[in-house]
Amino acid sequence: MGVRVGIIMGSQSDWPTMKEAARILNDLGVEFETRIVSAHRTPDRLWEYGKTAVARGLKVIIAGAGGAAHLPGMMASKTRVPVIGVPIQTRALNGVDSLYSIVQMPRGYPVATMAIGAAGAANAGLMAAQILALEDPGLAARLDAWREALSASIPEEPQDD
Ligand code: RP5
């Protein structure tokens, strides 16, 4: 089916977190690409990526950034491809800076903002897959199985370590 999801991030240092989104998409058999695209350090790259996203067939963009996390919002301003934002956990402010930078978009340019850190990145992968599954019965079935397996893995009673 070709690449349908773009996973972009502001820095190499975001990759350990954003890998969680990649892992989910791999598990579900969704093709994706990964790119470092920084709102501040490579603004021309951001512009080009957003400008060509629709024509290249991308259906969802997952964008992770930390601190003054402008990447998801700027990408949302440049393309109508839905953008899922992942606030990276930062050392200075624990990711609250990233969260606030991503979530408070002005009316008209939404970013679907996930939780801070690894759980948010994994959920971004799942959210992207769920969007694609609306038009892809095979992926829908794989997602249903994934969710069943997660439920089945939760014990009914707490265990001692
Ligand atoms: C942001 O600045 C990146 O998304 C990253 O989370 C943060 C720090 O980047 P590095 O200084 O580690 O490259 O643009």
The pLDDT of residue 83: 98
The partner residues of 7 in beta bridges, in order of sequence, read 34, 62
Structural domains of the chain, with CATH: 5-139 (3.40.50.1970)
| Block residue for tokens 């408070």 | 104
Cα angle 91, 19, 15 (rounded to 5 degrees) comes to 45
Q: Which atom of ligand 1 is nearest to the CA of 98?
A: 6
Read off the pTM: 0.97
pLDDT, tens digit (0-9, with 9 covering 90-100), for 7-27: 999 999 999 999 999 999 999
104-143 pLDDT, tens digit each? 999 999 999 999 999 999 999 999 999 999 999 999 999 9
What is the distance in A from the centroid of ligand 1 to the CA of 128?
23
Length of the chain: 161
As a whole number of angstroms, the distance between CA 20 and CA 73 comes to 21
Please report the pLDDT score of residue 56 as a whole number.
98
Tokens of 115: 């939780």
Mean pLDDT of 31-46: 98
With a cut of 90, say whether residue 1 has pLDDT above it: no
pLDDT band, residue 41 (cuts 50/70/90): very high
Please tell me what DSSP assigns to residue 109.
S
Q: Give residues (CB < 6 A) around ligand 1.
A: 10-11, 13-14, 38, 65-67, 88
Mutate to test the pocket of ligand 1, among 8, 12, 13 (most ligand atoms within 8 A of CB): 13
Note the pLDDT of residue 161.
Answer: 83
Give me the residue label for tokens 């990447």: 71
To test the ligand 1 pocket, which listed residue (8, 9, 11, 70) has its Cβ within 8 A of the most ligand atoms?
A: 11
Q: Which atom of ligand 1 is nearest to the CA of 65?
A: 4
